């Protein structure tokens, strides 16, 4: 039995494979969300689902390749960082469920009337996907406790997690709140006053 085969049978390696599976399943849900439609009564402003699907699926694909090539610490760092970013994105997309008309997300939907839109299956798919990716990230962050070999220092996961957490701090604060008001100058059409 080789050293790599022996390392792949440890509980930490099994936990890393589980975290990858959770992140991959969550990414599939994230890719499906825009295709299903996040709200009833509004379409996306432009065709964005191919790019959104690519951005959702790319991290678990790269992490899977890294795992197969024997780079578990880099794969764990990638999954953990994506999990941290997913937390910020979850907070941002929960606004769609709470008050969809206050959210400016043209890649997901653009209301064409002032009638309030309601969350659809795609919004719930996004939320479930974020929860799975976060769970995978938490499991991957625990991979930092595994013994390091010569090629990958144990602090590598912590560096990625700290960097991602720092970048995520500002994400929920960047939500744009948009209120639709009627004015006589727009002849009955709603105008949008945005504040950041």
In sequence order, what are the residues at sequence separation of 6 or more whose Cβ sits closer than 8 angstroms to the Cβ of residue 146? 10, 12, 13, 72, 73, 154
Q: Are 102 and 194 in contact (CB under 8 A)?
A: no
Distances from the Cα of 186 to the Cα of 45, 103, 113, 178, angstroms:
21, 22, 14, 17
Q: Are 29 and 157 in contact (CB under 8 A)?
A: no
Predicted local confidence at residue 45, as pLDDT: 85
Per the prediction, the chain carries an average pLDDT of: 77
Q: Give mean pLDDT, residues 19-42.
A: 92
pLDDT at 164 over 80: no
Predicted local confidence at residue 127, as pLDDT: 95
Predicted local confidence at residue 179, as pLDDT: 46
- 42, 44, 49, 51 alpha-carbon torsion, rounded to 10°: -150
Predicted local confidence at residue 55, as pLDDT: 92
CA 83 – CA 75 distance, rounded (Å): 12
Closest CA to 144 of 126, 160, 158: 158
Closest CA to 13 of 62, 68, 78, 61: 68
Higher pLDDT, 164 or 45: 45
What are 190's strand-pairing partners? 182
Structure tokens at 46: 């432009």
Put simply, whether the predicted model's pTM sits higher than 0.85 gets the answer no
Confidence at 195, pLDDT banded by 50, 70, 90:
very low
- 63, 64, 67, 71 alpha-carbon torsion, rounded to 10°: -30
73-95 per-position pLDDT tens digit? 888 889 999 998 999 889 888 98
Closest CA to 8 of 146, 101, 127: 146
Predicted local confidence at residue 132, as pLDDT: 96
Give the torsion sign (CA, 144, 130, 69, 161). negative
Confidence at 26, pLDDT banded by 50, 70, 90:
very high
Task: Kindly report the length of the chain.
Answer: 196
pLDDT at 187 over 70: no
CA 35 – CA 146 distance, rounded (Å): 39
Confidence at 110, pLDDT banded by 50, 70, 90:
confident
């Amino acid at each position: 039995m080789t050293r790599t085969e022996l390392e792949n049978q440890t509980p930490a390696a099994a936990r890393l494979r589980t975290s990858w599976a959770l992140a991959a399943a969550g990414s599939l849900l994230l890719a499906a969300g825009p295709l299903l439609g996040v709200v009833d009564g509004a379409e996306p402003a432009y065709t964005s689902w191919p790019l959104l699907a690519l951005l959702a699926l790319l991290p678990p694909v790269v992490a899977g390749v890294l795992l197969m090539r024997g780079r578990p610490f880099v794969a764990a760092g990638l999954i953990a960082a994506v999990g941290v970013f997913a937390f910020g994105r979850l907070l941002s997309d929960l606004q769609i469920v709470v008050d969809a008309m206050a959210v400016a997300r043209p890649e997901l939907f653009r209301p064409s009337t002032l009638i309030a839109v309601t969350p659809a299956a795609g919004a719930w798919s996004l939320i479930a996907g974020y929860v799975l990716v976060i769970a995978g990230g938490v499991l991957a962050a625990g991979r930092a406790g595994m013994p390091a070999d010569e090629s990958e220092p144990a602090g590598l996961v912590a560096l990625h997690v700290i960097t991602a957490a720092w970048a995520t701090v500002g994400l929920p604060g960047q939500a744009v709140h948009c209120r639709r008001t009627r004015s006589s100058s727009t002849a009955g059409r709603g105008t949008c006053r945005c504040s950041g």
